[in-house]
């Protein structure tokens, strides 16, 4: 570590914190799903346990960006790590205390922790890469984003393995202990005042004034709504109830999909032309959204004549590749567009839109599937991606972030 430059050392610390948090986040989700499924909860009831997790993400990203600019990203990242430890310990109480409201409260705390951690990690990269090295920035953001999603899939497997080996309470205590040690190390090693704004931001600065960031945030909201409207509730329930998959097969497949999705995100710079010296702009985001737009509708048409495992799984694989590239492009563009002074204000606002899209998608996924089925969810998904592509047209003349500030 001593032979590395200071920015690289800080990048590795930020990434390591993010990785450790992500493993516990994925494992906790799988532990809750498996444990409460064993207690007889239905898939929709289990999904409801995560409602506050998504809802509090909307508020956390907005307020968290403000806190990051005032307090420093090292503090918001460490607050997130500490809150995750507390959320894990909340679920170690006696079984009689594990009511729906208690679990939803623990998930709300975990959701706040997750978005504080993510906002801090994404914002920190902006400060660790010089402005003139946009290609390097794109690569670093893609690695951080892709590795996070791959590790979240690994966390799914970890949660199931821990549950089988040491039980629900033992798993939570083990993860809380390890993450607590990482939190203590982060308090000591992470650079003080990283990302702290030179000028104290006002509360009204929470809402972005940059047209490029507003448009990109709107596109992100519809993009992630398009994924979650069929992926969060509708797809697992369909695989289980219509295709007859058992719970372990559903969980294992979705975990593998998330890992593959993360790997593609990491290689997005090479897929979009980074190796040839091409750095993406708004036009790139528009074209890749356009490529994705028709795919959910095509899957819906393929399922029109009846359930087809081949059509669904093949479509899901293609969707994962295209969506991963879209997501990675967006993650780079927000870091590129954000102002360096108080970067977390812009990044927090953007990920608030991301959380809002996930919340809308999660709610629609359960309701639309229950009333109209998976095909309707897929049609809504295509519509949302079309809207994201149309909004991205406004970014075409904002390839230079300074022009839109």
**Tokens 């959701």, located at residue:** 111
Helices marked H in 339-373? 343-372
Task: Give the model's pLDDT for residue 290.
Answer: 95
**Helix 374-392, helix 295-302: angle, nearest 10:** 160
- Cβ contacts of 351 within 8 Å, gap of 6 or more: 57, 61, 65, 115, 118, 119, 122
Residue (of 303, 320, 319) closest to 311 by Cα position: 303
Where does residue 88 rank: exposed (0-12), middle (13-18), buried (19+ CB within 10 A)?
Answer: buried
Residue (of 168, 239, 201, 191) closest to 339 by Cα position: 201
* Contact criterion met (CB below 8 Å) for 266 and 146: yes
Task: Give the model's pLDDT for residue 402.
Answer: 38
DSSP string covering 307-330:
--HHHHHHHHHHHHHHHHHHHHHH
Residue (of 292, 344, 321) closest to 120 by Cα position: 344
Distance CA 44, CA 7 (A): 45
| Domains of the chain with bracketed CATH | 6-194+204-404 (1.20.1250.20)
Task: Give the model's pLDDT for residue 401.
Answer: 41
**Tokens 């968290």, located at residue:** 64
Distance CA 144, CA 76 (A): 18
CA dihedral 187, 188, 191, 193 (to 10 degrees): 50
DSSP string covering 109-172:
HHHHHHHHHHHHHHHHHHHHS-TT-HHHHHHHHHHHHHHHHHHHHHHHHHHHHHHHHHHHHHHH
Segment-wise mean pLDDT, segments of 10 residues, the chain, 405 residues: 64 81 87 79 72 81 74 83 94 86 89 85 69 71 79 82 88 94 87 61 61 90 94 83 80 84 86 67 90 96 88 94 93 79 73 87 85 93 96 68 38
The structure tokens listed for 310 are 């081949």
Predicted TM-score (pTM) of the model is 0.77
Distance CA 235, CA 366 (A): 10
Distance CA 314, CA 246 (A): 20
């Amino acid at each position: 570590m001593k032979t590395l430059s200071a920015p690289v050392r800080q990048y590795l610390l930020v990434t390591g914190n993010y990785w450790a948090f992500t493993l516990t986040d994925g494992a906790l989700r799988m532990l809750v799903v498996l444990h409460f499924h064993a207690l007889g909860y239905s898939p929709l009831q289990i999904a409801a346990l995560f409602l506050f997790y998504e809802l509090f993400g909307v508020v956390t990203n907005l307020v968290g960006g403000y806190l990051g600019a005032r307090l420093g990203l090292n503090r918001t990242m460490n607050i997130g790590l500490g809150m995750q430890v507390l959320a894990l310990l909340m679920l170690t109480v006696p079984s009689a205390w594990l009511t729906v409201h208690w679990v939803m409260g623990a998930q709300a705390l975990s959701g706040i922790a997750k978005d504080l951690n993510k906002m801090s990690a994404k914002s920190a990269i902006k400060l660790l890469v010089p402005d003139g090295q946009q290609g390097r920035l794109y690569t670093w953001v893609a690695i951080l984003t892709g590795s996070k999603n791959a590790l979240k899939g690994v966390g799914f497997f970890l949660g199931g393995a821990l549950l089988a080996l040491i039980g629900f309470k033992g798993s939570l205590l083990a993860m809380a202990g390890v993450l607590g040690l990482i939190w203590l190390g982060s308090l000591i090693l992470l650079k003080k005042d990283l990302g702290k704004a030179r000028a104290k931001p006002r509360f009204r600065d929470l809402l972005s004034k940059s047209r490029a960031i507003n448009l990109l945030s709107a596109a992100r909201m519809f993009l992630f709504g398009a994924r979650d409207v069929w992926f969060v509730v509708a797809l697992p329930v369909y695989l289980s109830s219509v295709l007859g998959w058992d719970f372990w097969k559903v969980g294992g497949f979705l975990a593998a999909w998330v890992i593959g999705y993360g790997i593609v995100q990491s290689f997005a710079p090479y897929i979009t032309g980074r190796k040839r010296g091409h750095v993406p702009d708004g036009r790139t985001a528009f074209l890749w959204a356009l490529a994705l737009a028709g795919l959910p509708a095509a899957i819906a048409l393929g399922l029109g004549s009846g359930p087809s495992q081949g059509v669904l799984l093949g479509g899901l694989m293609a969707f994962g590749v295209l969506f991963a590239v879209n997501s990675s492009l967006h993650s780079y563009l927000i870091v590129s567009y954000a102002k360096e002074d108080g970067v977390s204000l812009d990044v927090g606002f953007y990920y608030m839109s991301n959380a809002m899209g996930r919340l809308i998608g999660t709610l629609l996924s359960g309701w639309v599937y229950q009333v109209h089925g998976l095909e309707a969810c897929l049609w809504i998904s295509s519509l949302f991606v079309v809207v994201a592509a149309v909004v991205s047209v406004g970014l075409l003349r904002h390839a230079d972030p300074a022009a839109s500030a």
